[in-house]
Amino acid sequence: MAKPKWYTLFAWGWTALFAVVLADVIFNSRTPYYEVKALPALVCGGAVFAVLTMAWRLWKKHGVQPEGRLEAVLVAVLLGGYWVLQLVFAFVLEVQPTCTWDFGLVFSAAQQYAQSGVLPGDYFSQFHNNAPMYLVLVAFFKVLGALGVQDVMPAALVCNTLCVNGALLLLYRVLRRLYGAKSALFGLAGAFLFLPFLLYGPIVYTDTVTLPFPIGALALWLSARERPAGAGRMLRCAGAGLLAAAGAWLKITVAIALIAVVLDALLYAGGRRGWKMAGCMVLSFAALYGALSFAALHSPWLPAYDREKAIPWQHWVMMGLSGDGGYNDADYKLTLAGEDYSARVEIAQDEIVRRVREMGLTGLAAHGADKLSYIFGDGLYYAPMKLDIGNVHKGNPLQAYFVQGMPHTGRAVYAALGMQTALLAGLAAAGVRSALRRDHRATVLRVAVLGLTLFLLLWEARSRYLLNFLPVMLAAAFPAVDEGRQSV
């Protein structure tokens, strides 16, 4: 078992970090598509946090304790009803897969190859990280074609919303394992209030498709951690590694969930048992990720990979040191000025060194604060900017609230920011509870969120990059209860 002092120290450090992030989000807003004022943001966040706290206390006292069939029925009804709402949002806010953004490029290329056999151009050599998503879509569109379906978007939207709902079901399973069915029902209902789960339904891309993978790997690990020695425990560990590998193949940040569970295996479980479980997860991850990566490099559905045309990883670190740390076209053009891969690496490395020296320690600290606010301070997770690209159904009421520059966008911004600041407050409060009660069961979730935060501080980032970890964040912020509590 873990030494409590290390988990307790982590809990206090976690609390300090997210207290700073919360203040940063309120008083240093960097929302790119709407000017957020500090006082309304503070009022909205405080009001949402107070309402949710009151609702939680009432639910603990008066809520039903679901058992057996009642629990299954309640969860099915909640998720079924929410899925209908997701479909409404997905079809009403549908956007065209234009070639002006990654979703459109990947989707259109996959559809064109599946239906006409035309290979894409150099895009997947430059951005090979999007090749797995392309391959998955090609396979899906080929199946639809075999069934006589040529209009692939409706089926894609249905599957995309199912990925979101699958992640919410896994969130329920995690909360149920940690805190029981009654608490998990409250957590599931609370998750429905986060608008990004609705707004990203129209965008069939890695942000949504990978939603089930981080929370799923963590769910399998939590199950394995509680089981006695035997085949069942090791199978769950292998499953966690495989799930993380499949997710990381599509979007590399999913691998952060694996790092968190491996650390938890070594520290929480500890000893020979922990090393065995960690080794099982790492080996299963490496085997599947390696196989999938090899398949993507040599797939006949893609032109031959040309490394000389690739964008090096240093490019995204360089871009993360510019402005608020998000994408900017000037840095992209700067990297492409290099004629080959090595020249592009040199350009990016030189620019990284120059920017770091130019900013100095105080400048880097200020840049980090701006970047944290830019990442965590947008409760709509960048959706209004993405939903403004190629609207299919113009002038509908939902667009008036959820597309940038529309009459009621500000109302949606503040409502979502209220939920987001309540989430950040919950994350900070969870650290306090964990430290004071020595209840560290959910620390692995917080380690995963911390890992993502550190990665995004170093990388090109924006708020939508949090989306596939949003269920993990919600579970990490959940108000733990004393009933059934275990300490380490």
* Cβ-based neighbours of 131, under 8 Å, separated by 6 or more: 124, 296, 299, 302
pLDDT at 248: 98
Would you say 382 and 464 are in contact if contact means Cβ atoms under 8 Å apart?
Answer: yes
Q: How many CB atoms lie within 10 A of CB 1?
A: 12
The mean of the pLDDT values for the chain is 93
pLDDT at 230: 84
The Cα–Cα gap between 75 and 81 comes to: 10
Q: Which residues pair with 95 in a beta bridge?
A: 391
* Res. 3: pLDDT tops 80: no
pLDDT at 228: 82
Would you say 74 and 190 are in contact if contact means Cβ atoms under 8 Å apart?
Answer: no
**pLDDT mean over 312-321:** 96
**pLDDT mean over 169-175:** 97
* Res. 482: pLDDT tops 90: no
**pLDDT mean over 194-201:** 97
* Res. 487: pLDDT tops 60: no
pLDDT at 272: 85
CA torsion through residues 325, 378, 92, 394, sign:
negative
First to last CA, the chain: 7
* Res. 447: pLDDT tops 70: yes
pLDDT at 75: 95
Q: Among residues 422, 350, 381, 316, which one has the least CA distance to residue 50?
A: 422
* Res. 256: pLDDT tops 80: yes
pLDDT category of residue 270 using cuts at 50, 70 and 90: confident
pLDDT at 267: 87
* Res. 488: pLDDT tops 80: no
pLDDT at 481: 60
* Res. 4: pLDDT tops 80: no
64-112, pLDDT tens digit by residue?
A: 788 888 899 999 999 999 999 999 999 999 999 998 899 999 999 999 9
**pLDDT mean over 217-241:** 93
Q: How many CB atoms lie within 10 A of CB 325?
A: 24
Q: Give percent of the chain with pLDDT exceeding 90.
A: 87
pTM, whole model, 2 decimals?
A: 0.95
The Cα–Cα gap between 253 and 465 comes to: 9
Q: Among residues 293, 239, 287, 237, which one has the least CA distance to residue 266?
A: 237
Surface-to-core class of residue 389, CB atoms within 10 Å of its CB (0-12 exposed, 13-18 middle, 19+ buried): middle
